[in-house]
Structure 1
Amino acid sequence: MKALLKGLLYLVVLLALVFVVGGFLLPDKTHVERSIAIDRPPGEVHAMLDSYKRFNEWSPWYELEPTAKYVYSGPESGVGASLAWEGAKVGKGSQRIAESVPQQKVVNALDFDGTQAVGTFDLKAEGDGTRVTWSLDSAHGNNLVSRWFGLVLDKMVGKDYDKGLAKLKRVLEEQPR
């Protein structure tokens, strides 16, 4: 019995060492990025992304929980416009437009119940349309759990970004020019 307990203790210590040492060897930042071409000029795309008023028309998370509570604050568009949400499935968080460059970029400061990240929409003219690149950047610092979580962030968020960009494309291309 003592040998079994001693073996379990060694296993726990070994797993803790792997978690700590391995965690510090992992990147302290995670970047997720998806892109799509939209047949609309950068100005139209920017106008949609520079306000949260139509966010739920293309958000990949709205259909997951349409009954979640959404609160808008600040200006209707541009720097300072904010959206907070709370729901059983989508959790609690907020986002605020931190930077807006007409026809080029919208940067969102994200807060997922205390965890900060940055979401960016980069817009590049492409023919008669726009190449939209949606990215998420998360800094983990010395948070080992966050560093391990960063390993699966692309798989978790990437599919939602693909879905959201496809919906954004559909919504923009269906509206009259």
Structure 2
Amino acid sequence: MLKKILLGAAVVLVAFLGFVATRPSTFEIKRSTTVRAPAGVVYGLVADFNKVATWSPFMKPDPVRKDTYAGVPATVGHSVTWTSTDNSSEGKMTISSLKPPEQLQLQLDFVKPFEATNETVFRFEPAGNDTRVTWVMSGQNGFLSKAFSVFMDVDKMVGSDFEAGLATLKDLAEAEAKASASAAGSAAPNGAVATDTVK
């Protein structure tokens, strides 16, 4: 009886491993939103990692995490390294290339709880007087990632954080654009109203 149980378990395990092996070897998570602000305003909130914590769910203040910033914001090499005091999370995010204010490419190096290197790209495309912002993360799926995806919808799980981050980024960028337009309008000679006012 025991042999039959062990044989059955072995068959199930082999079948599961075989199924995991068929899972995609790469992944891509992408979300977009339209922001009523110039591309330069939105770009500035993404290219300066000191400001990323104001809108990204992944970098929101955490008492058990220490963030260390390096390099000049909005330049290649600008980075933030994070490590948790409970030793559960560690990694680094670095600007690898940029084309202001159209695109920003980042490299994400995860050390803990698992090792992985992913690429993140932010695109800022004109949409009339607005800006279409697209956030994309892609990378390789190792065995553990493939196995995890069998039980969890990673696109939905991480994508929901992308959506929340983009919503906050939209609010911040639009508020900043309105404040800039208002200041420009107030400073116009003879009470003239600036033509680039954001509604």
TM category (shorter chain) comes to 0.7 to 0.9
- CA pair 137-166 structure 1, distance change in 2 beyond 3 A: same
Of 73, 76, 94, the residue aligned with 2:73 is: 76
Q: Which residue of 1 aligns with 2:48?
A: 51
8 Å CA contact 1:50, 1:77 repeated in 2: yes
Matches of 2:155 and 2:46 in 1, distance apart? Answer: 22
Q: Which runs of 4+ in 1 moved over 4 A?
A: none
**Unaligned stretches of 5+ residues in structure 2:** 181-199
Corresponding residue of 2:196: none
Deviation of residue 67 (structure 1)? Answer: 4.8
- SS class of match (1:57): coil
The residue number in structure 2 matching 1:39 is 36
Q: Where does residue 30 of structure 1 map in the other structure?
A: 27
Distance 2:55 2:41 in 1: 15
SS in 1 for 2:50: coil
Query: Deviation at 1:15?
Result: 2.8
Q: Percent identity?
A: 28
Question: Are 1:118 and 2:116 an aligned pair?
Answer: no
**How big is the alpha-carbon RMSD for the aligned residues of Structure 1 and Structure 2?**
2.0
TM-score, normalised relative to structure 2: 0.79
* Shift of residue 144, structure 1, vs aligned partner: 1.8
1:29 positional shift: 0.5
What amino acid does structure 1 have at the position aligned with 2:90? K
Distance 1:29 1:37 in 2: 27
Question: 1:99 aligned to 2:100?
Answer: no
Where in structure 2 are the equivalents of 1:126-141 lying within 5 Å? 126-140=127-141
Alpha-carbon deviation of 1:173?
A: 1.1
Residue in 2 that maps onto 1:147:
146
Task: Give the conservation status (yes or no) of the 8 Å contact 2:53–2:61.
Answer: no
* Structure 1 residue ranges without an equivalent (≥5): none
Q: Residue deviations 1:97-154, cap 9 Å, x none? A: 11111121111100121211111111110111111010110212xx322223345321
